[in-house]
């Protein structure tokens, strides 16, 4: 199945955190990273009292079902030292979200696919336009590029990271 994941990090060596994620994903013989967007440095949302994030979207081919994939990526976050708190929008060593899983729609207490806030997040949509600008979410009609253009006026910063 073709899956899109978002990666975010604003604690420690953010670039190295991404490299660790790639390595762990591909150690699992059920996963192959097909493509990666450029990496973007982005302003924090909601909780503005924290460092800027690095964000990226990756396209993955996986044999894991959605729940197993969720458990796998939560395991990566834990292995890398992410501390889960009840507070949202806090600094994190790594954040991995399932954005889309083929044409599947999932809405449970544990998992929502497509990710419910995609359409409001420049830090997801901009990198996604690098690798799949014409992709249309299973619950939508607009392409990723069109969704990004709809919110390009939002004030949050998204700039290519060098």
Predicted confidence (pLDDT) per residue in 48-94, tens digit: 788 999 999 999 999 999 999 999 999 999 999 887 766 777 789 99
Please state, for a pLDDT cut of 90, what percent of the chain lies above it.
Answer: 83
pLDDT tens column, 135-147: 999 999 999 999 9
Instruction: Report the alpha-carbon distance of residue 121 to residue 133 in Å, rounded.
Output: 15
Instruction: Report the alpha-carbon distance of residue 153 to residue 79 in Å, rounded.
Output: 37
Q: How much is the pTM?
A: 0.95
Q: Which domain holds residue 38?
A: 2-160
Helical segments of 4-162, H only: 14-27, 66-79, 122-131, 144-151
Query: CB count, 10 Å around CB of 111?
Result: 15
Q: What mean pLDDT is reported for the chain?
A: 94
The CATH number of whichever domain residue 152 belongs to comes to 3.30.70.560
- The answer on pLDDT for 44 being more than 80 is yes
pLDDT of the residue at 91: 85
Instruction: Report the alpha-carbon distance of residue 123 to residue 44 in Å, rounded.
Output: 9
* Structural domains of the chain, count: 1
- Of residues 161, 30, 17, 2, the one with CA closest to residue 82: 17
């Amino acid at each position: 199945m073709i899956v899109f994941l978002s990666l975010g990090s604003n604690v420690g060596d953010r670039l190295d955190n991404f490299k660790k994620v790639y390595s762990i994903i591909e150690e699992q013989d059920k996963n192959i990273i097909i493509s990666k967007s450029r990496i973007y440095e982005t302003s924090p949302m909601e909780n503005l009292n924290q460092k800027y994030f690095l964000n990226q979207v990756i396209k993955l081919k996986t044999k894991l079902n959605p729940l197993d994939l969720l458990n796998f990526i939560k395991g990566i976050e834990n292995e890398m030292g992410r501390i889960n708190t009840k507070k949202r929008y806090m600094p994190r060593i790594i954040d991995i979200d399932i954005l889309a899983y083929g044409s599947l729609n999932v809405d449970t207490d544990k998992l929502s696919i497509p990710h419910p806030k995609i359409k409001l997040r420049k830090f997801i949509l901009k990198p996604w336009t690098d690798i799949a600008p014409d992709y249309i979410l299973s619950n939508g009609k607009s392409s990723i590029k069109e969704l990004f253009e709809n919110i390009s006026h939002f004030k949050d910063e998204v700039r290519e990271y060098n």
